[in-house]
Amino acid sequence: MNQPDEKFTRQTITDILPLTPSLFSFRCTRDDGFRFTAGQFARLGVRSERGNLVWRAYSMVSSPYDEFLDFFSIVVPDGEFTSVLSRLKVGDELLIEKQPQGFLTLDRFGDGRDLWLLATGTGVAPFLSILQDFAVWERFERIVLVYSVRTQAELAYRELLQELTTREYIAPHAHKLVFVPVVTREKVAGCLDQRITDLLNNGRLEQAAGLSMTPEHSRVLICGNPQMVDDTRKLLKKRDMQLSLTRRPGQVAVENYW
């Protein structure tokens, strides 16, 4: 039972989908009062083996309009949080803080023609939520999703990406999406095979997307490995693309909650 003075609600795991030995997605119930903007994250809580509550930030994969919440997780060996989370079963309890957080949202940008979504690993989660929001399709002329993983098996949510472009409210705009999969440790047909930073440096990323990344037209959201986020941000700064701040609108927004 949720208590009015608690900062979290008690939700129930309704579905778990193992993807690889170290990756899984899961779904839980959603409190009626929980509202979020596509791209934000929630702090999830579990009780550790020692009995204390442990909290971690997880971006919502699901749409702000879904009646459930979807999340994407990696299993960290001996991790205090994910070792517990990965053992949860359907019907188990999950705590979710009432207030969502994060600024990896479209309102970071006041203008822009093309939207670039650069993700590594589970950092793709907020972009899947954004792509389920009609606002992004209506606003931008081109949307480029760059999704980098180590192995082909880690390329999650391919079915969701294919399905969402057939949805009635998205289908007329589906031509705007350019999906650029990247697999760095295997040769996979149709996928680029270098790190995002290398692909930016050598021009292969823009060539694959058929689009140039420029301060004038491009707005870039970055989420994933902290080193990738930092290195990519520095590369874009050299292109005169700055972090978008409240006091100074720019072309780049990042999320790093590792």
CATH code of residue 77:
2.40.30.10
228 and 122, same domain (yes or no): yes
Buried b / exposed e over 10-40, threshold 16 CB at 10 Å, is ebebeebeebeebbbbbbbbbeeebebbbbb
pLDDT, mean of residues 114-119: 98
Point out the domain boundary residue: 57, 75, 97: 97
Q: Look at residue 80 and tell me if it is in a domain.
A: yes
Residue 3 lies in a domain: no
Domain ends where: 64, 97, 130?
97
Domain enclosing residue 65, as ranges: 8-97
Assess whether 121 and 184 both reside in one domain. yes
Domain-located, residue 1: no
Residues 118 and 189 in one domain: yes
Domain shared by 124 and 71, yes or no: no
257 pLDDT above the threshold of 90? no
pTM score: 0.95
Average pLDDT over residues 165-194: 97
Q: Is residue 170 part of a domain?
A: yes
182, part of any domain: yes
Mean pLDDT value of segment 221-244 = 96
Q: Same domain for 90 and 164?
A: no
For residues 35 and 64, the answer to whether their CB atoms sit within 8 Å is yes
Please check whether residue 2 lies inside any domain of the structure.
no
Which of 60, 76, 97 represents a domain boundary (last residue)? 97
H helix or E strand, kind and range, residue 146: strand 142-149
Whether residue 66 is predicted with pLDDT greater than 90 in this model: the reply is yes
Tokens of 190: 């149709």
Q: Is residue 62 part of a domain?
A: yes
Task: Report the number of distinct structural domains present in the chain.
Answer: 2
Instruction: Verify that 12 and 111 share a domain, yes or no.
Output: no
Same domain, 154 and 42: no
pLDDT-derived band at 2 (thresholds 50, 70, 90) equals low
Residue 227's SS3 state is: helix
Whether 248 shows a pLDDT value over 70: the answer reads yes
Which CATH number goes with the domain that contains 167?
3.40.50.80
Spatial distance between the Cα atoms of 231 and 120, rounded to a whole number of angstroms: 13
Instruction: Say yes or no: 143 and 203 in one domain.
Output: yes
- Alpha helices (H) in the chain, listed in sequence order: 82-85, 125-131, 134-139, 158-164, 196-202, 204-209, 226-238
For residues 117 and 89, membership in a common domain is answered with no
Does residue 30 share a domain with residue 149? no
**Looking at residues 79-105, what average pLDDT do you find?**
95
